[in-house]
């Protein structure tokens, strides 16, 4: 979800714009002196890796770096209009739209009516993370599979006719509207096929599934059954209905999907200040100013009545896409915060490592390392790896070292004296635990991906316009960072393989986003980028089969340009030199991206099209993709293929 400056909805308070939740102390003067040294070091590292030393705006002509990347597409220009833009020679098929019936018996999308029971059987709203799993399971099929898609949140003013922004409008939310919103959240699993005419969904497939706020989950791991996750409705502390604000995600080596519960604070009304969870609620941004009116109709979304319910959200969840009857789980060993991404790696020693971030200004980067090792013969039972292990939080120092600090009860500051009676307390309040360990406060960690080819880890920081000059550090070098950046972490090598479980990595700056023609922005790429090649506000990223990094953006309209997709090599001549592949219809951010195993189809999710400052159901800034009067713009997953059947980008 964006925090669009070009549209500031009162009904969606995703990030708490003016009050980041992290109150812990900023850097000391010693830190600042160290940072000046390291800033030079970090930038030097970035420049040294570039074959072309100059940072600047190129001519737009196909340069040697692009040829070296094997990229043959003609870069599209920056724009900002009602349409989706892709390079010549490619086809975009917006085939999976909000409201599309996916479960057998579901009604067709009706632009004029909002029926919660129908929405619970249709494709949900605001698609974010997308992943393709092949069918049959175990195959490498690239023309038949399941798409798993997160539905991050709902925009009432874009969904309901006559619903304006503002608290008065929120107060006008009816029980029926709240039920529709809850049905629009969650995930979809949809069988898809590549036909001669393009990608289509298999409408009544038995594998199709909707997960919503009504779906039963099992809470597992160290927090399961703890008093702080028990509620009036669930004395066991293990049975939770629903998931929400699912943003980026990941997948496991055993065929399941992980999804990150991000801004869960905004669904809880009531006043937490007089409850036992007051400090915890405050640190998570729960303060009685919800963006949804659900608490009016259901006590569990009113923290005055159910102060523990928020402790049952903010986790990494796991869904088995191949079994629509399976009960999804919430893995508490990975900590509770505003999760973004869950990227798994089987480490060189067989242990499972999961990278995940906390997407808010001045929050942290985490990784989980399992105790046990992956065993392919165990299949789905490998899921237990996610319930027994160590959660670490990252410190990035001025010398280019990453120290992964364990969040383990009883060690260091994480003791009863500081309010942590058990590991469950450490995990429920992972943010406060990380504050005490003095982890590095980042510029909003979004997606994290690892390169299969090099073992390097790419951490996307989307922006932080609240960072002041005296708060800059080696890893977050710009005050009022409106553009975002990408950090590259390098694990140590053991016998030629990356050791992702190691407690010490190195790091350097990979890209400082922004327009290099405006030197005041401090943008830095691996070499000259074209007029269209620079970007801002990186969010979701994905590697393709050729090892190239695809970067989607969320917030570029603040800089007058559509959000979209850029691509770069991470090694060699084209390293950190981005090229522009796709542009969104106005009002939208771009999510996904995801590739089929053969690299010949790219799926992207266009989220909140037409939603800008002043937009509403009757007055969107685009009606993409239907372009019919009376039909609102629809968040949609788009399949992109190359007309000659070749690899995307090349």
Q: Is 563 in the site for ligand FEO (CB under 6 A)?
A: no
Answer with the entry of Ca ion, ligand FEO, none that 262 interacts with (C-beta below 5 to 8 A by kind).
ligand FEO
Given candidates 155, 359, 363, 569, which one binds ligand FEO under the rule CB under 6 A? 359
DSSP codes of every residue in 105-171: TPPPP-TT---HHHHTTB--SSEEEEEEEESSTTS--SSEEEEEEEE----HHHHSTT--SSHHHHH
> Residues 152-191 vs ligand FEO: string with x where CB under 6 A?
x---------------------------------------
Only one of the segments 222-230, 263-271, 281-289, 442-450 lies at the binding site for Ca ion (rule: CB under 5 A); that segment is 442-450
Backbone angles phi, psi at 524, to 5 degrees: -150, 120
At closest approach, how far in Å is the CB of 334 from ligand FEO? 16
| Residue closer to ligand FEO, measured from CB, 434 or 641 | 434
Q: Is 1 in the site for ligand FEO (CB under 6 A)?
A: yes
Contacts of 578 (CB under 8 A, 6+ apart): 511, 525, 529, 533, 534, 535, 551, 566, 567, 568
As a 3-state breakdown, the chain gives helix, strand, coil percent values, each rounded to 5, of: 20, 30, 50
Among residue numbers 419 through 448, which ones bind ligand FEO (CB under 6 A)?
A: 446
CA distance 585 to 20: 30
For 599-620, the three-class secondary structure string (H helix, E strand, C coil) is CCEEEEEEECCCCCCCCECCEC
At closest approach, how far in Å is the CB of 1 from ligand FEO? 4
Instruction: Compute how many residues bind Ca ion; rule: CB under 5 A.
Output: 4
At closest approach, how far in Å is the CB of 541 from ligand FEO? 12
> Residues 542-571 vs Ca ion: string with x where CB under 5 A?
------------x-----------------
Answer with the entry of ligand FEO, Ca ion, none that 152 interacts with (C-beta below 5 to 8 A by kind).
ligand FEO
At closest approach, how far in Å is the CB of 277 from Ca ion? 27
Only one of the segments 102-110, 399-407, 481-489, 535-543 lies at the binding site for Ca ion (rule: CB under 5 A); that segment is 535-543
| Residue closer to ligand FEO, measured from CB, 75 or 155 | 155
What DSSP state is assigned to residue 34?
H
Q: Is 262 in the site for ligand FEO (CB under 6 A)?
A: yes
Answer with the entry of Ca ion, ligand FEO, none that 573 interacts with (C-beta below 5 to 8 A by kind).
none
At closest approach, how far in Å is the CB of 113 from ligand FEO? 28
Of the candidates 576, 565, 590, 589, the one whose C-alpha atom is nearest the C-alpha of residue 648 is 565
At closest approach, how far in Å is the CB of 266 from ligand FEO? 11
At closest approach, how far in Å is the CB of 259 from ligand FEO? 11
Contacts of 552 (CB under 8 A, 6+ apart): 538, 539, 540, 541, 563, 564, 565, 589, 590, 591, 592, 593, 604
Q: Report CA dihedral (461, 463, 469, 475) to the nearest 10 degrees.
A: 10
Residue 441 in contact with residue 472, Cβ under 8 Å?
A: no
Backbone angles phi, psi at 272, to 5 degrees: -80, -10
Tokens 């007051």 correspond to 278
Token duo for residue 27: 């850097």
CA distance 620 to 158: 8
Given candidates 539, 569, 612, 647, which one binds Ca ion under the rule CB under 5 A? 539
Given candidates 156, 213, 229, 247, which one binds Ca ion under the rule CB under 5 A? 247
Report helix, strand or coil for 61: coil
Residue 71 in contact with residue 646, Cβ under 8 Å?
A: no
| Residue closer to ligand FEO, measured from CB, 178 or 590 | 590
At closest approach, how far in Å is the CB of 446 from Ca ion? 5
Q: Is 473 in the site for ligand FEO (CB under 6 A)?
A: no
| Residue closer to ligand FEO, measured from CB, 262 or 320 | 262
Alpha helices in 187-297 (DSSP H): 278-283
At closest approach, how far in Å is the CB of 260 from ligand FEO? 8
Answer with the entry of ligand FEO, Ca ion, none that 435 interacts with (C-beta below 5 to 8 A by kind).
none
The Cα angle at residue 340 between residues 404 and 283, in degrees rounded to 5: 80
At closest approach, how far in Å is the CB of 542 from ligand FEO? 15
| Residue closer to Ca ion, measured from CB, 1 or 159 | 1
Report helix, strand or coil for 2: coil
Report the first-to-last Cα separation within the chain, whole angstroms: 30
Token duo for residue 162: 């006559």
Among residue numbers 12 through 71, which ones bind Ca ion (CB under 5 A)?
A: none
Q: Is 247 in the site for ligand FEO (CB under 6 A)?
A: yes
Q: Is 573 in the site for ligand FEO (CB under 6 A)?
A: no
Which neighbouring-strand residues pair with 508?
488
Q: Is 446 in the site for Ca ion (CB under 5 A)?
A: yes
Among residue numbers 23 through 52, which ones bind ligand FEO (CB under 6 A)?
A: none
CA distance 444 to 398: 19
Of the candidates 414, 395, 413, the one whose C-alpha atom is nearest the C-alpha of residue 405 is 395
CA distance 154 to 550: 26
Instruction: Compute how many residues bind ligand FEO; rule: CB under 6 A.
Output: 7
Answer with the entry of ligand FEO, Ca ion, none that 611 interacts with (C-beta below 5 to 8 A by kind).
none
Q: Is 306 in the site for Ca ion (CB under 5 A)?
A: no
Only one of the segments 162-170, 208-216, 242-250, 572-580 lies at the binding site for Ca ion (rule: CB under 5 A); that segment is 242-250
At closest approach, how far in Å is the CB of 388 from ligand FEO? 28
The Cα angle at residue 566 between residues 560 and 567, in degrees rounded to 5: 160
Among residue numbers 312 through 341, which ones bind ligand FEO (CB under 6 A)?
A: 340
Tokens 């290099």 correspond to 516
At closest approach, how far in Å is the CB of 393 from ligand FEO? 18
Residues in the site for ligand FEO, rule: CB under 6 A? 1, 152, 247, 262, 340, 359, 446
Residues in the site for Ca ion, rule: CB under 5 A? 247, 446, 539, 554
């Amino acid at each position: 979800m964006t925090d669009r400056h070009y549209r500031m909805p009162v009904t969606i308070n995703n990030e708490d714009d003016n009050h980041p939740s992290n109150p812990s102390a900023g850097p000391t003067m010693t830190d600042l002196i160290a940072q000046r040294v390291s800033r030079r070091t970090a930038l030097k590292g970035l420049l040294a890796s570039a074959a072309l030393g100059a940072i600047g705006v190129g001519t737009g002509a196909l340069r040697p770096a692009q040829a070296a990347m094997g990229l043959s597409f003609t870069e599209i220009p920056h724009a900002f209009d009602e349409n989706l833009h892709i390079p010549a020679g490619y086809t975009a098929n917006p085939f999976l739209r909000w409201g599309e019936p996916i479960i057998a018996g579901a009604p067709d999308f009706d632009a004029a009516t909002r029926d919660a029971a129908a929405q619970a059987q249709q494709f949900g709203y605001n698609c974010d993370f997308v992943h393709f799993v092949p069918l049959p399971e175990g195959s490498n099929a690239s023309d038949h599979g399941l798409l798993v898609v997160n539905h991050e949140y709902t925009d009432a003013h874009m969904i309901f006719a006559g619903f304006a922004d503002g608290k008065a409008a929120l107060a006008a939310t009816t029980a029926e509207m709240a039920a529709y919103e809850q049905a629009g959240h969650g995930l979809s699993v949809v069988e898809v096929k590549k036909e001669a005419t393009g990608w289509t969904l298999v409408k009544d497939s038995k594998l199709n599934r909707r997960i919503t706020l009504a779906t039963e989950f099992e809470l597992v791991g160290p927090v399961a059954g703890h008093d702080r996750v028990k509620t009036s409705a669930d004395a066991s502390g293990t049975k939770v209905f629903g998931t929400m604000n699912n943003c980026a995600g990941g997948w496991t080596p055993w065929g399941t999907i992980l999804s990150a519960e991000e801004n869960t604070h905004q669904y809880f009304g009531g006043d937490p200040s007089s409850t036992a969870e007051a400090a915890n609620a405050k640190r998570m941004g729960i303060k009685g100013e919800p963006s949804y009116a659900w608490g009016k109709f259901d006590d569990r979304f009113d923290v005055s009545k159910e102060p523990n319910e928020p402790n049952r959200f903010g986790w990494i969840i796991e869904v088995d896409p191949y079994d629509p009857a399976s009960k999804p789980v919430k893995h508490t060993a990975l900590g509770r915060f505003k999760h973004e991404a869950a990227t798994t790696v089987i480490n060189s020693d067989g242990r499972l490592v999961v990278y995940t971030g906390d997407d808010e200004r001045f929050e942290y980067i985490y990784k989980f390392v399992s105790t046990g090792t992956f065993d392919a013969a165990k299949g789905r039972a490998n899921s237990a790896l996610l319930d027994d292990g160590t959660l670490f939080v990252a410190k990035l120092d001025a010398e280019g070292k990453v120290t992964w600090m364990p969040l383990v009860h009883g060690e260091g500051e994480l003791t009863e004296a500081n309010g942590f009676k058990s590991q469950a307390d450490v995990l429920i309040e992972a943010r406060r635990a990380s504050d005490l360990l003095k982890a590095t406060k980042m510029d909003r960690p979004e997606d994290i991906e690892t390169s299969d080819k090099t073992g390097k880890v790419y951490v996307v920081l989307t922006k932080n316009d609240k960072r002041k000059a005296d708060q800059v550090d080696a890893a977050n070098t710009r005050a009022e960072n409106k553009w975002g950046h990408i950090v590259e972490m390098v694990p140590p090598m053991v016998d030629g393989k990356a050791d992702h479980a190691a407690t010490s990595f190195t790091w350097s700056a990979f890209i400082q986003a922004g327009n290099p023609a405006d030197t005041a922005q401090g943008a830095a790429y691996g070499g000259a980028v074209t007029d269209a090649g620079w970007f801002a506000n990186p969010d979701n990223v994905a590697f393709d089969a050729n090892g190239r990094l695809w970067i989607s953006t969320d917030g570029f309209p603040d800089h007058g340009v559509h959000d979209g997709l850029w691509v770069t090599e991470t090694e060699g001549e084209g390293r950190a030199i981005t090229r522009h592949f796709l542009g969104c219809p106005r009002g939208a951010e771009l999510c996904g991206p995801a590739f089929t195993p053969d690299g010949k189809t790219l799926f992207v999710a266009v989220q909140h099209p037409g939603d800008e400052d002043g937009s509403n159901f009757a007055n969107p800034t685009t009606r993409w993709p239907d372009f019919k009067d009376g039909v609102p713009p629809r968040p949609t997953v788009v399949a992109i293929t190359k007309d000659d059947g070749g690899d995307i980008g090349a």
